[in-house]
Amino acid sequence: MFLLETLIKTALVIAGLMTAAAYLVLLERWMAAWIQDRLGPNRVGIPLTRIRLFGLGQPLADGVKFFFKEEFTPSHVDKLLYFLGPAVMFTAAVAIFAVVPFGSVLPSEFGLEGMSRPIELVVAPGVDVAVLYVFAAGSIAVYGALLSGWASNNKYSMYGGLRGAAQLISYELPLGLGLVGVVLASGSLRLDVIIAQQAQSGAWNVALQPLGFLVFFVAGFAESGRLPFDLPETEQELVGGYHTEYSGVKLLLILVSEFLHMIVASFLIVILFFGGWHLWGVTGSGQEVTWPIALARVVVLLGKVLLTILFFMLARWSWPRFRFDQLMALAWKVILPLGMVNLVVLVVWVEYGAKMAAALGISNIAAMAAFGWGVFAASAAVVVWLVPGEPDNRPRRGPAWQLGPTDEEETPQ
Amino acid sequence: MKPDDPRVRWIDEPELGPLGRVYVPLATEGLATTLRHLFGRKKTVQSPEERYVSPAPLIYRGVHRLNRDSQGRVKCVACFLCATACPAHCIDIVAAESPWPDRDKYPESFTIDELRCIYCGMCEEACPVDAIELTSLYDLSGKSREEMIFDKEKLLAVYDMTKDAEPMRTAGVPEPRRKEDGP
């Protein structure tokens, strides 16, 4: 019975993810078009008819196109790694969803024989190290980028792979630091417990730990490799980055994995900081649910994820790409220290917070929110104070410009 | 000129405010711009159901036409200025003695290779008698290369087709009196 339940949920998640990825590609193209004052894909409807359906048949057409395209393997690639790259990327991206809840629980009166406990809407329920698992599987994405970049035996791919590796590893640290705050505050590595805790108190983590949210949000953007952090595959500089040499189904796997990373990032942002399935007055907060509440929780969670994804897509056209040195400077000089501050502050809070709140005579939540926003404002002030006021983007005047060795750097005799 | 040349004027970028240092004003500006366009009016024309109509057909550079004068004759005087000006060498003129008394030459044949043409409009600029003009027809297509080489009759036909919608640039200007016309 347990096996059957898991199989059904796995099938549901994989089918849902593939459909979602396909339609998110359509949504992405629509958003791109609308923002550029165009209409976007609106022609493809039901095949062999003239019914257009606002272009909702486009993902099907795209998929068919990908499968019928020539799958060309260049002669100069390292065959094994070339095939392994997309496979690793895709497997890791899908595997993450084993522990990501897509709802709360279904009611226990399911009407099935031997099914007395409520069904949790997650493929692998009750994994105690869910958060660690997500990060472990997410880190394997680096191998995908690196393997495909290296195996392609192409300068552009290689650059893309190197950039991808450097960027993903750099932003993994602040991502973890942003997360540790939430884990500390809730005392659990289980995503469902983290959601339940936010639902119970009614205060989402974004209101309690704004600094942690900022760190996690920026790092999450960078981890999913989306603009303004899409350095591994900048079309203008690197043709296609690490997937330059790929075509056909292998390219499809890489592109779908990238979308899956964005979906994972959105899920994590929503679950960790925006209360997961919780919405005041709609979804309730307890473990005992009825059918309408269970469905409402699924809808609320997926709705929040969709909104986050829409923001991802909007940001893509709103902000220009960072330069690579700016990207690294942001990670190591700004976001990582902020993450450290957040961690230390949360540790102090967990140790002394409740006592301080009791001494001041205010509720725990209010004290934590005040504390969090105070720290946020202070850190923002420090960052503003430390960042130079002049953007230094232009080439320097003076000797550095002159060709050949200058007085300062004499060639050794 | 080298960057440290004294004649180079260096313009300093404006100082960033406290919020500007953490990207706040520019980030909100970017989001506001995209949001405005997201819900704004779209510019797409649903071709082929809808047709794009140039808002300024007189300055659009589409298919050529050879204009007729008030008596329905071809205006061209076979001076070869357009063929000389053409950077793509797509105009081929064969001149002959004019059968009419008011000019010396007329084009016996006048062909434009529409596939070779780059639609720069230099022929139009060069023409001293406003005989060749570019219309706003933009969706030119054909089934063979030969079909896309427009001869005199075809170019005159383009004029007949477009003269109502796009009058000649010199329409309304009286044609110059010539000495053969008499006083």
Task: Read off the pLDDT of each residue in A273-289 and give the average, rounded to a whole number.
Answer: 78
Quote the mean pLDDT of chain A: 82
Domains in chain B, please, with CATH? 57-170 (3.30.70.3270)
- Beta carbons of B112 and B149 less than 8 angstroms apart: yes
Question: Which contiguous run of DSSP H or E holds residue B64?
Answer: strand B64-66
B18–chain A Cβ distance below 8 A for any pair: yes
Greater model confidence, A19 or A402: A19
Tell me what pLDDT residue A398 has: 53
Angle between helices A210-223 and A336-360 (to 10 degrees): 150
Q: Is the pLDDT of residue A122 over 90?
A: no
pLDDT tens track for B120-155: 989 998 988 888 999 888 888 889 998 999 999 989
Separation between Cα atoms, residue A131 and residue A96, nearest integer Å: 10
Tell me what pLDDT residue B84 has: 93
**Smallest CA–CA separation between A338 and chain B, in Å?**
13
Tell me what pLDDT residue B32 has: 92
- Beta carbons of B95 and B126 less than 8 angstroms apart: no
Q: Is the pLDDT of residue A155 over 60?
A: yes
Tell me what pLDDT residue B119 has: 92
Are B34 and A389 an interchain contact pair (Cβ–Cβ within 8 Å)?
no
**Smallest CA–CA separation between B102 and chain A, in Å?**
54
Residues of B with CB below 8 A from A384's CB? Answer: 18-19, 21-22
The DSSP code sequence of A260-300 is HHHHHHHHHHHHHHS-TT--TTTS-SSS---HHHHHHHHHH
Closest listed residue to residue B116, CA positions, set B83, B67, B74, B78: B83
Cβ atoms within 10 Å of B166's Cβ, excluding its own: 21
Are B37 and A35 an interchain contact pair (Cβ–Cβ within 8 Å)?
yes
Tokens standing for A356?
A: 């301080």
Q: Which residue of chain A has the CA closest to B16?
A: A389
Tell me what pLDDT residue B34 has: 92
Closest listed residue to residue A181, CA positions, set A335, A379, A338, A346: A346
**Smallest CA–CA separation between A28 and chain B, in Å?**
12
SS3 B159: helix
Cβ atoms within 10 Å of A286's Cβ, excluding its own: 10
Closest listed residue to residue A368, CA positions, set A181, A131, A175: A181
Give the model's confidence band at B92: pLDDT under 50 very low, under 70 low, under 90 confident, else very high.
Answer: very high
Give the list of residues 6+ apart from residue A257 with CB closer than 8 angstroms, or none: A86, A89, A90, A92, A93, A141, A144
pLDDT tens track for A215-227: 999 998 888 888 7
Are B3 and A395 an interchain contact pair (Cβ–Cβ within 8 Å)?
yes
pLDDT tens track for A93-104: 888 888 888 877
Tell me what pLDDT residue A382 has: 87
Q: Is the pLDDT of residue A406 over 60?
A: no
Greater model confidence, A236 or A304: A304
The CA-atom distances, in angstroms, between B15 and each of A388, B12, B61 are 9, 9, 46
B58–chain A Cβ distance below 8 A for any pair: no
Tell me what pLDDT residue B72 has: 84
The DSSP code sequence of A247-259 is -HHHHHHHHHHHH
Give the model's confidence band at A109: pLDDT under 50 very low, under 70 low, under 90 confident, else very high.
Answer: low
CB-closest option in A318, A384, A387 to B30: A318
B24–chain A Cβ distance below 8 A for any pair: no
Q: Is the pLDDT of residue A208 over 70?
A: yes
Residues of A with CB below 8 A from B4's CB? Answer: 397-398, 401-402
Closest listed residue to residue A371, CA positions, set A385, A356, A386: A356
B15–chain A Cβ distance below 8 A for any pair: yes
Quote the mean pLDDT of chain B: 85
Q: What percent of chain B has a predicted confidence (pLDDT) above 90?
A: 28
- Beta carbons of A69 and A77 less than 8 angstroms apart: no
Tell me what pLDDT residue A391 has: 60
pTM of the model: 0.79
- Tokens 């192409």, located at residue: A154
Separation between Cα atoms, residue A212 and residue A373, nearest integer Å: 11
CB-closest option in B13, B16, B38 to A35: B38
Q: Is the pLDDT of residue B118 over 90?
A: yes
Task: Read off the pLDDT of each residue in A15-22 and give the average, rounded to a whole number.
Answer: 87
Give the model's confidence band at B173: pLDDT under 50 very low, under 70 low, under 90 confident, else very high.
Answer: low
Are B38 and A314 an interchain contact pair (Cβ–Cβ within 8 Å)?
yes
* Disruptive mutation site among A30, A310, A317, A396 for chain B (greatest number of B CBs within 10 Å): A317
Q: What percent of chain A has a predicted confidence (pLDDT) above 70?
A: 90
* Disruptive mutation site among B4, B23, B45 for chain A (greatest number of A CBs within 10 Å): B4
Tokens standing for A288?
A: 């005992």
- Beta carbons of A300 and A307 less than 8 angstroms apart: no
Tokens standing for A219?
A: 């790092």
Give the model's confidence band at B117: pLDDT under 50 very low, under 70 low, under 90 confident, else very high.
Answer: very high
Tell me what pLDDT residue A393 has: 60
As a whole number of Å, the CA-based R_g of chain A is 24
Are B13 and A390 an interchain contact pair (Cβ–Cβ within 8 Å)?
yes
Give the model's confidence band at B183: pLDDT under 50 very low, under 70 low, under 90 confident, else very high.
Answer: very low
Tokens standing for B64?
A: 């050529």
Residues of B with CB below 8 A from A391's CB? Answer: 13, 16
Most confident range (mean pLDDT) of A21-25, B15-19, B45-49 is A21-25
Separation between Cα atoms, residue B54 and residue B46, nearest integer Å: 15
Cβ atoms within 10 Å of B135's Cβ, excluding its own: 21
Give the model's confidence band at A204: pLDDT under 50 very low, under 70 low, under 90 confident, else very high.
Answer: confident
Q: Which residue of chain A has the CA closest to B11?
A: A394
Closest listed residue to residue B135, CA positions, set B48, B56, B79: B56
Are B44 and A384 an interchain contact pair (Cβ–Cβ within 8 Å)?
no
Give the model's confidence band at B41: pLDDT under 50 very low, under 70 low, under 90 confident, else very high.
Answer: confident
pLDDT tens track for A304-351: 999 999 999 998 888 888 888 888 888 888 889 899 988 888 888 888
